[in-house]
A and B are shown apart, each in its own frame.
Chain A
Amino acid sequence: MAAAEALARIAPGEVAGAEQATAVVCQNVSVRFVSDRRIVTALDNISFSVEAGGFLCVLGPSGCGKSTLLRVVADLIDPSSGTLSVFGRTPRQARIDRALGFVFQDAALLPWRTALENVELPLEVGGRRSLLAGAPTPRELLRLVGLEGWEASFPHELSGGMRQRVAIARALLGGPRLLLMDEPFGALDEITRDRLNEELRRIWLETRTTILFVTHSVYEAIYLGETVLVLAANPGRVRARVEVDLPPDRALSIRETEPFNRIAARTRGLLGSEP
């Protein structure tokens, strides 16, 4: 896996001397929206951190602000209060430095571009026009996500799962140190979803890119994450942080084992309990 090695090589030490132990530090972040003279608190005093190379799943019911949280980290939404740092920088600086990649629920591919051209998009906008030496090329990334031979296909010729793979390859272009994923497999059928879960674990193990993954599936969160951040809704706040003590090399069948079920039961309990 040339692409994965290249990503693993450039991801940790892209900025020399700025080796950070923590990828994201979020302190007392609140987000409030004003709508119809009412103030809606989407996120209330959220604090958490993700270590570099970690895999954190944000789990919660709809309306708990988990997508909003991801958008605050990506500098798509400004927090109303609180502070955030991404590899020691502000989210804005991290965005400008291309330290983060984003995968949306809808693959958000441009329908007039082939799979390969979609992956190349980040090289055509935003002032970053060339890859760092040694960074994986768009073709290598398509191979990494299992789409070798589909480079010239248009999005409408690909299945939903394949479109998400293209979106993941696009988000990995340029070797971001942080991958933000907003329910990327939520619209897929269960079989495709399982397979992509397995592949995302593999990609994470191979590249060691820090991943922040939003989901409302308990099984997905525990299977994927090293840590699960459980949120509660109205207003969105942190309910608990669950460490997933499972081996890093996980087959899908681990979901039928005793340790997995114990963590799942505990997590589901946390989701259901009233404040």
Chain B
Amino acid sequence: MSASAGVSQVLASEVRSAEAEYRRLKRRESWRRRILPCVGILVGLGVWAALVHVFKVPPFIAPSPLTVADTLISKFDVLMNNLWPTVVEAIGGFLIGNLFAIALATAFVHRKWISETFFALVVLINSIPVVAKAPILVLLLGNGFAPKIAIAAVISFFPTLVNMVRGLESVNPQAMELMRVLSASEREVFMKLRVYNSLPYLFSALRISASSSVIGAIVGEWIGSNYGIGALIIQATYAFDSALLYAAVFVGSAFSVLFFMTISLAERLIVRWQPPSVA
């Protein structure tokens, strides 16, 4: 009796030390995964600085990373004043484009003829490159925020429409039969089944359109605008101010990454049911 209790105690302590070892390895793994990408970025910046220094690249062609960092600090006000319009346009376009996409996807799923009639038209409009759509919208909507928001919206619209239709339609056929056995109405099937089923699809589209709406806003600002990150990029290019150009690009991408990460975070908070392997 006491012998077996002793054995089980030894076993328990072994299990504990094995668990501690496992946790230690796990911690090291997670640190590795965080530190190594940072090392990679630092190496990239180092190579860049070395190249500019060794080949004596003139500052109107390309700046050294240190000059860019300097500009980021010294022209912080200018950069921020131009970032805000871009942020408003990108987020505004993102919201409008995605809302329309979700509404149209809902209509497509419920009324087959709407999808059969208009899907080809939507594909056709989507096939026009953004840089070609932008001037058309500028002519239609003038020089203010409206055309930039419209471009960001148009660019966000398509991936969400396609993914949302797939998400709403690809419900488990046996779950559909279950709903039928339970005499659920079309509305109940939509609210209890289709909407939830579509959320993983929706979020993968939202992650795409978070980045592309920023592109849309910047492209919109290239054409006839004197504010925003896009306008700043154009002005800096024509003034051969490469440090400002790089700083503007950096601020634009930083916002884009932040936007993307916000959507990813929202997804992780909302879509909690999917095992990671399925995503």
Chain A interface (Cβ within 8 Å of chain B)?
A: 71, 74-76, 95-96, 98, 100-102, 104-106, 108, 110-113, 121-122, 124-128, 154-156
Asked whether B182 lies within 8 Å of A125 as measured between CB atoms, the reply is yes
By a CB distance below 8 angstroms, the chain B residues around A156 are 273-275, 278
A-B contact count (CB 8 A): 68
Q: What distance in Å separates the Cβ of A213 from its nearest Cβ neighbour in chain B?
A: 16
Given contacts A74-B181, A76-B181, A121-B182, contact A126 B174 (CB under 8 A): no
Q: What distance in Å separates the Cβ of A26 from its nearest Cβ neighbour in chain B?
A: 18
B179-208 vs A: 1/0 string, CB under 8 Å? 111111100110011001001000000000
By a CB distance below 8 angstroms, the chain B residues around A122 are 182
Name the residue on A nearest B275 (C-beta): A156
Name the residue on A nearest B180 (C-beta): A76
By a CB distance below 8 angstroms, the chain B residues around A155 are 273
Asked whether A104 lies within 8 Å of B174 as measured between CB atoms, the reply is yes
Asked whether B196 lies within 8 Å of A102 as measured between CB atoms, the reply is no
Name the residue on B nearest A182 (C-beta): B174
A34-B157 Cα distance, complex, nearest whole Å: 39
In the complex, whether B175 has a CB less than 8 A from a CB of chain A is yes
Asked whether A111 lies within 8 Å of B178 as measured between CB atoms, the reply is no
Q: What distance in Å separates the Cβ of B175 from its nearest Cβ neighbour in chain A?
A: 5
A102-B189 Cα distance, complex, nearest whole Å: 17
Asked whether A104 lies within 8 Å of B177 as measured between CB atoms, the reply is yes
Interface residues of B in 137-193 (CB under 8 A from A): 172, 174-175, 177-185, 188-189, 192-193
- Which of A95, A125, A127: most chain B CB closer than 10 A? A125
By a CB distance below 8 angstroms, the chain B residues around A100 are 181
Asked whether B273 lies within 8 Å of A154 as measured between CB atoms, the reply is yes
Name the residue on B nearest A126 (C-beta): B183
A221-B155 Cα distance, complex, nearest whole Å: 57
Asked whether A110 lies within 8 Å of B193 as measured between CB atoms, the reply is yes
By a CB distance below 8 angstroms, the chain B residues around A121 are 182, 192
| Cβ contact of A126, chosen from B182, B272, B278, cutoff 8 A | B182
By a CB distance below 8 angstroms, the chain B residues around A110 are 175, 192-193, 196
Given A75-B180, A110-B196, list of 5 further CB < 8 A pairs?
Answer: A76-B181, A122-B182, A125-B182, A125-B185, A126-B185
Name the residue on A nearest B184 (C-beta): A125
By a CB distance below 8 angstroms, the chain A residues around B179 are 125
By a CB distance below 8 angstroms, the chain B residues around A102 are 177-178, 181
A108-B180 Cα distance, complex, nearest whole Å: 13
Asked whether B174 lies within 8 Å of A105 as measured between CB atoms, the reply is yes
Asked whether B178 lies within 8 Å of A108 as measured between CB atoms, the reply is yes
A104-B176 Cα distance, complex, nearest whole Å: 11
By a CB distance below 8 angstroms, the chain A residues around B278 are 156
Name the residue on B nearest A101 (C-beta): B181
Q: What distance in Å separates the Cβ of A117 from its nearest Cβ neighbour in chain B?
A: 11
B224-238 vs A: 1/0 string, CB under 8 Å? 000000000000000
A257-B272 Cα distance, complex, nearest whole Å: 49
A155-B181 Cα distance, complex, nearest whole Å: 21
Q: What distance in Å separates the Cβ of A120 from its nearest Cβ neighbour in chain B?
A: 11
By a CB distance below 8 angstroms, the chain A residues around B189 are 125
| Cβ contact of A106, chosen from B174, B183, B184, B193, cutoff 8 A | B174
By a CB distance below 8 angstroms, the chain B residues around A127 are 183
Given contacts A121-B192, A126-B188, contact A111 B174 (CB under 8 A): no
